[in-house]
Amino acid sequence: MKIIHLSDLHLVAPGHQVAGRDPAQSLARALTLVRRDHADAAFCLLTGDLADAGEEAAYAELTRQLADLPMPCYVMPGNHDERAHLRKAFPDLPLSTEGFIQQALPTPAGLFLLLDTLNAGRPGGWYDDARALWLRQQLTGAGEQAIFLAMHHPPFAVGIPSMDRYALRDTAHFDAALKGYEARVRHIFIGHLHRPIGGSWRGMSFSGVSSPNHQVALDMNSCPESGDVPGSLGHPAFGVILIDETRVVVHHHFLDHDDAQFVL
């Protein structure tokens, strides 16, 4: 099974820019490559920060651009998103009684649990009792299915101080929900970091992808107290993930993919 992992689109109202680029154009460039090279993907996962400031116009642009993709797309909120506006644009999105946008997606490769880590008005993520209860229920009800998690905020630090301060905060509820199921989790897809990144956490493999528009710089000496996040414009991309019974392979499809190719 092939899936597409897109994250941190940071769409704005038409005609506006983020970091000197038009995020709508950046997304269009990515989706052109998805349609051209990956039309066989089973679905697209969008791990949050779909809008830069939660504007309705940004989500309207997103639904417009996703409309002619040949595969379904599944979205989850990030800290820059506004749940009400997101759900207005995607009226079929499940909404829990507590107001969270989270869903369990059965696939041939296993059960994908798409989490809501948004703490409205704050850059860092949050996972409270209600969300943890839902996650635990999904895990206990999953039977023998392999589990894949997708979430905007990473539940661990990655060594970039300016971003680590905005990771999932107070992971006690998240950890408790996951306890005992770590060996069943085949992979965790994260957003938020705007970087091609991967590794493992507590034995679970994870990956994150660049934004199609702008990145977080690899600055391991940044001062977290300043609140500033060093940015960069290099290597916009999306992820192409191949999954079978023995492998989860993560490719980063850079948007400059077609530049200066040559025969080795």
- Indicate if the alpha-carbon torsion angle 197, 158, 117, 53 is positive or negative: negative
- Look up tokens 């207005």; give the residue: 88
* 3-state secondary structure (DSSP) of residue 173: helix
Find how far residue 113's CA is from the centre of its chain.
12
Binding test (CB under 5 A) with Fe ion, winner from 23, 30, 45, 49? 49
- In the bound state, the residue with its beta carbon closest to Fe ion is 49
Contact 156, 167 (CB under 8 A): yes
Which among 42-50, 108-116, 153-161, 251-259 is the span making contact with Fe ion, rule CB under 5 A?
42-50
Nearer residue to Fe ion within complex by CB, 134 or 206: 206
Distance CA 103, CA 68 (A): 23
- Write down the least CB distance from residue 88 to Fe ion, Å: 21
Q: According to the binding rule CB under 5 A, does residue 82 interact with Fe ion? A: no
Helix then strand then coil, in percent of the chain rounded to 5, is 25, 25, 50
- Site size for Fe ion (CB under 5 A): 2
Q: For Cα atoms 141, 146, 150, give the angle at the middle one, nearest 5 degrees.
A: 90
Q: According to the binding rule CB under 5 A, does residue 81 interact with Fe ion? A: no
Nearer residue to Fe ion within complex by CB, 139 or 229: 229
Nearer residue to Fe ion within complex by CB, 8 or 116: 8
Q: Which helix (H) or strand (E) holds 24?
A: helix 23-37
> DSSP class of residue 193?
S
Nearer residue to Fe ion within complex by CB, 16 or 136: 16
Which among 7-15, 88-96, 129-137, 231-239 is the span making contact with Fe ion, rule CB under 5 A?
7-15
Q: According to the binding rule CB under 5 A, does residue 8 interact with Fe ion? A: yes
Which among 31-39, 47-55, 87-95, 216-224 is the span making contact with Fe ion, rule CB under 5 A?
47-55
Nearer residue to Fe ion within complex by CB, 30 or 139: 30
Binding site for Fe ion (CB under 5 A): 8, 49
